[in-house]
Each structure stands twice: as structure tokens, then as C-alpha cells.
């Protein structure tokens, strides 16, 4: 079976759909960071996106395409947090009933925000239960449309709009770094980069504790792992998807990893020097940029700060 992969035209269509609803987030720079790396860094601040992460882009793009019938019956989604909030907020904006399946250990702010957007939350144990199964069951029993967090053409196309905005604003890049969980953000970013800055090297970054995407691209097939234990809760995925894998293996140059300690250091830098609250997963790109050494020198590097949803108490604890 051949997969029908989203293209850059789908990213453009998504951009039109989310225009005026999603924020066009700022691109920030830091002389300190530029000097430290000998490069020009452009930070795309999706931590300042609606609901606090880029996932609003893919969520809203997917729900906006529902038929009137799908809109009436409702949507179901499973997520460790940000996709949940993205679907919940998009559903509220579009008048669609939403059911969200969340792990019992999801960050308190993410659960509270999802409920706050009016969604019904169903809890599960991420170490013993299969959320995809729960999602499928709910969609079959109640006729709800399942919107997965990354392996869906409309989700991927929506996520690609952040990189599209970044490159349109700052011009062509030599390197683009984006975090990888299931690969929706990275594959969407790669579609945009290949169209707007063809020579740009697109690099994905995942937590050291769960380098399944890196192993998948190296081995030529999707590698499944146990839920990795890392502070990067937005990238605790067990595997990438067949759509995201296909795009990544075609358009992504490399996957790097960052340790939790490197993420905390990056988080501290953003807070202290740039006055930005970035959640641990959102720090993956910059943490990897700092590892590049000579490969970064003189380069124009785009970095997607993917989200800012971290409990304040947790944030303080990590930085203490």
C-alpha cells in the first residue's frame, strides 16, 4: 500500500485555515546565544502560541476540516498534554464536543487547561494501558472522529505552518532544528523547509532516554520502545508514525538527542537571558544546537521553541 503523504500545498492550505485564529508567533534572537555559538540563531516562539504550544496549529487545522456531521458528533484525542489542549481549544472555538484521553501522570496544568476548555477528560495509565486502543474504542462506540497527535496528514500540515512563518520572516536557513516526539512537528517543518529553503538541513531532536526516531531512521524501519523516562513529557512517545516516518526518512538530514541535564541548562538560559518560559521538550532544539560546535559556526539556524506549558512549581524545582 502506498501512503498518501501531505505536501507543502497542504501546509499552505493549513496556513490559510488557521490565519486569524492561531497567533503568528514572534521570532526572537539573542546576541548572547549568537556569540556563544558563532552563529545566527532564530527562535520561533511557539511557547507563546495559543494554549502554549505549536499543537494548536495541527489541532485547529484538523478540526476545521470536519464535515457538519463530524462536528455534531464530536472529536476524541489522546495526548500527554499539549495535543489534548490543542484539540480541546479548537473544539471549543468550532463548537465541537471533545473527549480527551490523558495519562494519569500528565502535568497538572495540562489536565486543568484541557478541562478548562470544556473537554471531557478520560484518564489512563501510560505505563500499562494502550491509549490508542481506548481512543479507537471510544470512536467506534460513540462515532467520534479520532484525531491522533501526530500521524495524520492534517495534523502534520498544520504543524508545518510554524516553520513556514519562520522562514518567510527571516529568510533561508542553513539548519532548522525541531523537537521530535511522534514526528508531526518535524515532518511538517521539513515540508516547509524543503519548499522555502531547499538547501536547509532539517534536524530533529529527541530525548536521549528515548531515541526511537534516531534508531528508526538509521535502521530503516519504525522502532518501538517503552515509554522513556525523561523530563521532556511532550516527547515521551513510544514510536513515530508511518506518515511521519516516510516524510522524515525523505526530508530530514539527521536526528540528534539531548539529555535532561542539557534541557534544564537550556531552560535556564531562556528564562534568565531571554525572559522566556519554555517547557523541557521545547528546549530540545537549542540543546542540540549547543552540541553542534564547528558545524554551527557562521550558519543561520532556525530553532523551534515548541511549547511553554510547564507547571510553575515544577519549573522552579528544575531550575533550583
Residue 150 binds ligand PLP (CB under 6 A): yes
Q: How far apart are CA 204 and CA 180, in angstroms?
A: 6
CA 177 to chain centre: 12
Residue 248 binds ligand PLP (CB under 6 A): no
Least distance from C-beta 314 to ligand PLP, angstroms?
14
Is 80 tagged catalytic?
yes
Q: How many residues does the chain have?
A: 320
**Interface region with ligand PLP, contact rule CB under 6 A, candidates 6-14, 25-33, 177-185, 268-276:** 177-185
Q: How far apart are CA 243 and CA 152, in angstroms?
A: 7
Is 136 tagged catalytic?
no
145-146/40-45 β-pairing: unpaired
- How many C-beta neighbours within 10 Å does residue 80 have? 23
Number of residues that bind ligand PLP (CB under 6 A): 22
75-78/98-103 β-pairing: parallel
Considering beta carbons, is residue 210 or 234 the nearer one to ligand PLP?
A: 234
Residue 210 binds ligand PLP (CB under 6 A): no
Q: How far apart are CA 245 and CA 8, in angstroms?
A: 16
Considering beta carbons, is residue 211 or 306 the nearer one to ligand PLP?
A: 306
Q: How far apart are CA 124 and CA 101, in angstroms?
A: 7
Residue 307 binds ligand PLP (CB under 6 A): yes
Nearest position to ligand PLP, beta carbon = 307
Least distance from C-beta 305 to ligand PLP, angstroms?
8
Considering beta carbons, is residue 100 or 186 the nearer one to ligand PLP?
A: 186
Residue 70 phi, psi dihedral angles, 5° rounding: -60, -40
Q: How far apart are CA 175 and CA 57, in angstroms?
A: 22
The three grid cell numbers given for residue 257, joined into one nine-digit string: 538527542
* Choice among 30, 44, 55, 90 that is catalytic: 55
Considering beta carbons, is residue 180 or 192 the nearer one to ligand PLP?
A: 180
Q: Which residues bind ligand PLP (CB under 6 A)?
A: 53, 55, 82, 149-150, 159, 179-186, 234-235, 237, 279, 281-282, 306-307
- Which residues participate in catalysis according to the annotation? 55, 80
Amino acid at each position: 500500500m502506498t501512503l498518501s503523504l501531505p505536501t507543502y500545498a497542504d501546509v499552505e492550505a493549513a496556513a490559510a485555515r488557521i490565519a486569524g485564529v492561531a497567533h503568528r508567533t514572534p521570532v526572537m534572537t539573542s546576541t548572547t546565544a549568537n556569540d556563544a555559538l558563532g552563529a545566527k540563531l532564530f527562535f520561533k516562539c511557539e511557547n507563546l502560541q495559543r494554549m502554549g504550544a505549536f499543537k494548536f496549529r495541527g489541532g485547529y487545522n484538523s478540526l476545521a476540516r470536519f464535515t457538519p456531521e463530524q462536528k455534531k458528533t464530536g472529536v476524541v484525542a489522546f495526548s500527554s498534554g499539549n495535543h489534548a489542549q490543542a484539540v480541546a481549544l479548537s473544539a471549543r472555538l468550532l463548537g465541537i464536543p471533545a473527549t480527551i484521553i490523558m495519562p494519569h501522570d500528565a502535568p497538572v496544568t495540562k489536565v486543568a487547561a484541557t478541562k478548562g476548555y470544556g473537554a471531557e477528560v478520560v484518564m489512563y495509565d501510560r505505563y500499562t494501558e494502550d491509549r490508542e486502543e481506548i481512543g479507537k474504542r471510544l470512536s467506534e462506540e460513540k462515532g467520534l472522529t479520532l484525531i491522533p497527535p501526530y500521524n495524520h496528514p492534517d495534523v502534520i500540515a498544520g504543524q508545518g505552518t510554524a516553520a513556514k512563518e519562520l522562514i518567510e520572516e527571516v529568510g533561508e536557513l542553513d539548519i532548522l532544528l525541531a523537537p521530535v516526539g511522534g514526528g508531526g512537528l518535524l515532518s511538517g517543518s521539513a515540508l516547509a523547509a524543503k519548499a522555502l529553503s531547499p538547501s536547509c538541513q532539517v534536524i530533529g531532536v529527541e530525548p536521549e532516554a528515548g531515541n526511537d526516531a534516531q534508531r528508526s531512521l538509521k535502521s530503516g524501519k519504525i522502532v518501538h520502545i517503552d515509554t522513556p523516562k525523561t523530563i521532556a513529557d511532550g516527547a515521551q512517545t513510544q514510536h513515530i508514525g508511518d506518515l511521519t516516518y516516510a516524510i522524515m526518512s525523505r526530508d530530514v538530514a539527521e536526528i540528534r538527542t539531548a539529555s535532561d541535564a542539557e534541557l534544564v541548562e537550556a531552560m535556564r538560559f531562556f528564562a534568565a537571558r531571554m525572559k522566556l518560559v519554555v517547557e523541557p521538550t521545547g528546549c530540545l532544539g537549542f540543546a542540540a544546537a549547543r552540541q553542534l560546535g564547528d558545524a554551527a559556526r557562521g550558519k543561520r539556524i532556525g530553532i523551534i521553541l515548541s511549547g511553554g506549558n510547564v507547571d510553575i512549581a515544577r519549573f522552579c524545582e528544575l531550575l533550583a
